[in-house]
Amino acid sequence: MPKTPVQFRINGTDKAVFADGGQSLLDVIRREVGDTAPKYGCGQGTCGACMVLIDGEPHLSCILLAEMADGRSIETASNLDQGGQIHPLQDAFMTHFAAQCGFCTPGMLMAAKALLDKVPNPTREQVIDAISDNLCRCTGYEPIINAILDAAQNPSRRSA
């Protein structure tokens, strides 16, 4: 099967991989790069578990061809905590018990980060809008919404 060389930066590190024809960016991130934070939930772009940021914009990596990421900068949930210090969003998700099975959480966090990077003080409606691509089957969304609003209002929060 012909392979396509693809180069991108992921979580600050340059990577070069050979992608199979038709291989999704999600598959390349999980299997070739080895970052398993983005999840496969549907492969159809309807659940958001695979969400990553590409040049700061949220994207559903399961329906992107890997070669479309060529030359781009990708960020996944693995990059949120830095040097042992967790991100305010992670801290807020913990405080609000905003995860149960945890499978949607990496995608949900990236949707939230994309929002807060652009809109530091979002309204509840803006938060709802930002996570509308992301399904959660466990929490009923309320704790997730509250966590994102809390992280926005308390950007300096750190875990105890």
Partner 1 sequence: MLEFRKDLFANERDDNLNEVGKPTQRQDMAGHVTGRTPFFDDHRLDGMLHLKCVRSPHHSARIRSIDVSAAERSPGVRRILRGADVPVNLNTLLSLLAFGEDDEPSLATDQVRYKGEPVVAIIADSEREAWEAVSKVRVAYDPLPAVFDVEEALKPGAPSVNPVYTRNTFTYHDKYDHVKLRFGDVERAFQEADFVLEERYQMSPIEQAPIETNGAIAAPEVNDRYIVYTCAQGLFFSLDTTAKILDLPSNKLHFIGGTVGGGFGGKVDSLCEPLAVLGAMLTGRPVRYVLNRIEEMQVSAPRGAERHYIKDGVMRDGRIIARKMTVYFDCGAYTRLTSYGALKCVAHLPGPYTIPNVSADAYCVFTNRIPATAMRGFGVTGVDFAIECQMDKLAHLIGMDPMEFRIVNAYRDGDVKAHREHASNTALVECVQVAAEKASWPLSDAARAQSSLTGGGGERAIIPDTRLDDGGVRPAGWRPEGTLPPGTRAPSRPQVTPQPSAPRPPPIAAPQPTPASPPPAQEQVPAPAAPQTPTPPPAQSQPQSQPRYARTRFSTVFGTRRR
Partner 2 sequence: MAKHRGRGMAAINYPIGLNLGGDPSQALVHSNPTGKFTVALSSIDLGQGMKSVTRQIAAETLGIPVDDVYVDTADSDTGPHCMGSFASRGTHRVGNAVIAAAKEARGVMMEAAAEELEVDAGDLETDGKGNIHVRGAPHRSITVKEVAIAAQFRQGRTISGRGIFLIPMSGVDPETGAMKPVTTYAHACLVADVEVDDETGDVAVLKMNSAYELGRALNPRMVEQQLVGGAWMGMSHALYETTEPYYPDRDHGPSDFNEYLMPGPGDIAPHDIAVLERPAADGPFGGKGPGEMCANPVLPAVANAIFNAVGIRIDELPITPEKVLRGLKSQGGAKPPQVPFGGPKPNGAARP
Residue ranges that bind partner 2, judged by CB under 8 A: 42, 44, 46-47, 97, 100-103, 125, 127-129, 131-132, 135, 137-145
Helices (H), the chain: 25-27, 88-95, 105-118, 124-130, 142-153
Write down the least CB distance from residue 35 to partner 1, Å: 8
Q: Which one of 14, 34, 125, 156 is in contact with partner 1 (CB under 8 A)?
A: 34
Q: Which one of 41, 58, 88, 122 is in contact with partner 1 (CB under 8 A)?
A: 41
Q: Give one word for 151, left, alpha or beta, with left for phi > 0 and alpha for psi -120 to 50.
A: alpha
Which of partner 1, partner 2, none sits in contact with 144, Cβ below 5 to 8 A by type? partner 2
Write down the least CB distance from residue 134 to partner 1, Å: 9
Q: Which residue has the tokens 């940021």?
A: 53
Is the distance from CB of 21 to CB of 65 less than 8 angstroms?
Answer: no
Nearer CB in complex with partner 2: 19/147? 147
Q: Give one word for 22, left, alpha or beta, with left for phi > 0 and alpha for psi -120 to 50.
A: left
Cα distance between residue 149 and residue 126, in whole Å: 10
Cα distance between residue 134 and residue 107, in whole Å: 7
Cα distance between residue 16 and residue 39, in whole Å: 21
Write down the least CB distance from residue 83 to partner 2, Å: 23
Q: Residue 40 interacts with partner 1 (CB under 8 A)?
A: yes
Write down the least CB distance from residue 107 to partner 2, Å: 13
Which residues sit at the interface with partner 1, rule CB under 8 A?
1, 20, 22-23, 30-31, 34, 36-44, 46-47, 49, 76-78, 80-81, 86, 90, 93-94, 97, 99-106, 109, 135-138
